[in-house]
A and B are shown apart, each in its own frame.
Chain A
Amino acid sequence: MAEEILVVKSLKKHFKTSMGTVKAVDDVSFSINAGETFGLVGESGSGKSTTAFTIMGIYPPTGGDITFQGKPLIGGVKSRPRSLKKDMQMVFQDPGSSLNPRRSIGDILELPLSVHQLFEGKRKERIDDILNMVGLPTDFVDRFPRQLGGGEKQLVAISRAIATEPAFIALDEPSSALDVSMQAKIINTLLNIQKEYHISYLFITHNLSLMRNVAQNVGIMYLGKLLEVAPSSEFFTNPLHPYTKMLISSIPVITSEEEALKPKKIVSTGEIPSPVNVPKGCAFNTRCNECMENCKSMEPQMIEVEEGHWVKCHPFTPKA
């Protein structure tokens, strides 16, 4: 069994609004092994990004425990030691707004090094190194974000994240805003970096086919709750939760082998309910085609069906 670098236990993040409490993340538990990728999938508004933000400390959690490299993480980013931030980095979805438009690429990449007092006297070389790692020319240091394309900006954001030699990076839809060809380039760069430096990723995306190819374990979120967690090959060959089946059968595919793998067409209906009024019982009961009587009244428990394969659905709950 590989060493666990990050363990999240019944993590909760609730927001109070004038319309009621939004349970953006509700009772989410998973763990990430060192050097591996954990994928978090779900439709928009399902709480994937909030989960990542809470782990990074951008939002202080409402409840639950986060353990990183054996040490508990308490509270938000302000109450965490600086040395910890060196080991945990994040890449955001929109590279256009995550890079300071008034700083040159060189300045942007130097900042994490000077904050953590790393590579004293050798920063120029380090910046050249990390630009090389993501496949960007080193003369980019004198350019400004507006002079770069979307994909290049995202590569700069990635090289900023790896500047401090972190052990863990949260990737919040790093390729969703980009073209298919650029997306493939970003993913390849990320995987090469992971292999070389043994970095663990929390990879957030709504692209399931991409997830299949990058993550070792996949968790699926719906309305702030984790519905199924499984090793990614298992996840696609033997999906258990009706929501997972619906998602996989909605993926448009281009080859007949892929078509054969998909579960029988499950017609997707309805939209995600408002997170302020999460349906009673199982959160998915309004769209589920296998909905039973007790799904509407009782919330199912997370059950380990096979080793590493967890599902939150009534038919799999052992009879009490």
Chain B
Amino acid sequence: MSEELLKIEGLSINYKVYEDFFKVVHNASFRVGQGEKIGLIGESGCGKTTTMRAIMRALADNALITQGQILFQGKDIIKMSPDEIQKIRRKSISMIFQDPTAALNPVFKIGEQLTDIIRYSSQAAGKHLTKEEMKEQAVEALKNVALPDPERILQNYPIQLSGGMRQRVCIAAALISSGDLLIADEPGTSLDVTIEDQILRLLAGLVEKRRTSIILISHALGAVKGMVDRVYVMYAGSMVEVAKTDDLFSEPLHPYTVDLFKTVPKITGGGVPEPIPGHIPDYLNPPMGCRYYPRCKHAMPICDKEVPTFRHQGKDHEVACFLFEDVN
């Protein structure tokens, strides 16, 4: 096993709403090794983005971390002072957001936005760059993401670029300050299929070259399959299954994973995708036991009362479901 970079233990996050709490993330655990590529899949509203935002300490104001720890290189991010977390954002972890249009400031030129990032991240690394050096780095960053004519793009406002180009700018910006970990939150979802393909290939190449770890969140299960080493499946705020990518796609175990794969239409034809009956639970009163219990075809009496823990199933394959016995 490679060295651990990030370890989330028993994380729970609630959102304060009027007179009550949305209990969204519930006892989630997660591990990223040095240089490892991780996928995170699940329906929308399953707490994927909330978990990732917790790593960046960029949660909304009404979010409360009720328990658990997020260890980054051995230090708990939740307990860090604002200065420390700022330093981490500037040089260690960065995030690509789902919507590149909302992630870029519309009233500043791309060049200004990139040089700001370069200035602060180089300061965090203890270097002081001249204006020319910063511009050089900005051009270099745009070249890395295969944008044509970087000098001109530095002078453009975000509105002058297409969606694919904006997402490339966001990737360039994220790569400047991502020393150790890059979090990509559905980087291709708002783009066309050919552009999404280009963006994901680009990300894979850059991550490979720089040996950064990456967490890729996506609805496009196929995209995840082609790119990552290990996949976590998240349902209603908890991890329900984790396995090596090939194992998970060839032999999904958790009923939710099986059902989720069935919803994907196949290009070989063979009929209409099958929906999962029901919806994700009401986070005000989530089920006591396994949160998938109300929708599960294999539900047993115990599922309603107890929360299943992770059970080992072969190498690196763990599943949180009472159907399986721990084989270790």
Contact = CB atoms under 8 A, between A and B. Distances in A.
Are A and B part of the same complex? Answer: yes
Nearest to A252: B222
Nearest to A42: B192
A268 B279 contact: no
A271 B164 contact: yes
Interface stretch (B27-35, B125-133, B261-269, B300-308): B261-269
Interface string A53-74: 0000000000000000000000
Contacts of A240: none
Contacts of A184: 263, 265, 272-276
Contacts of A250: 193-194, 196-197
A268 B199 CA distance: 10
Contacts of A188: 272-275
B266 A253 contact: yes
Given A180-B219, A184-B275, A254-B249, A212 B194 contact: no
B267 A182 contact: no
Interface string A191-219: 10000000000000011111011100000
B261 A254 contact: yes
14 contacts: A180-B219, A181-B43, A184-B276, A185-B275, A209-B265, A210-B273, A250-B196, A251-B193, A252-B224, A252-B226, A261-B268, A268-B198, A271-B162, A271-B165
B271 to A, nearest CB: 6
Interface of B: 43-45, 162-165, 192-198, 201, 219-226, 249, 259-261, 263-276, 279
Contact of A181 (B194, B263, B266): B263
Interface string A93-131: 000000000000000000000000000000000000000
Interface of A: 43-44, 149, 179-185, 187-188, 191, 206-210, 212-214, 232-233, 236, 246-248, 250-255, 257-258, 261-262, 267-269, 271-272
A257 B44 CA distance: 27
Contacts of A179: 43-45, 219
Contact of A247 (B165, B194, B279): B194
A181 B269 CA distance: 18
B266 A209 contact: yes
A252 B194 contact: no
A180 B192 contact: no
A21 to B, nearest CB: 21
A136 B219 CA distance: 26
Contacts of B259: 181
Given A251-B222, A269-B198, A213 B192 contact: no
A274 to B, nearest CB: 9
Given A206-B192, A268-B197, 16 more contacts: A181-B43, A183-B273, A184-B272, A184-B273, A187-B272, A210-B273, A213-B266, A246-B194, A248-B267, A251-B193, A252-B223, A252-B224, A254-B225, A254-B249, A255-B266, A268-B198
List the 4 closest pairs (A to B, CB-CB), nearest first. Answer: A252-B222, A184-B275, A185-B275, A250-B197
Contacts of B267: 208-209, 212, 236, 248, 251, 253, 258, 261-262
Contacts of B269: 212-213, 232-233, 236
A104 to B, nearest CB: 22
Given A250-B194, A268-B197, A213 B249 contact: no
Nearest to B197: A250
Contacts of A187: 265, 272-273
A180 B193 contact: no
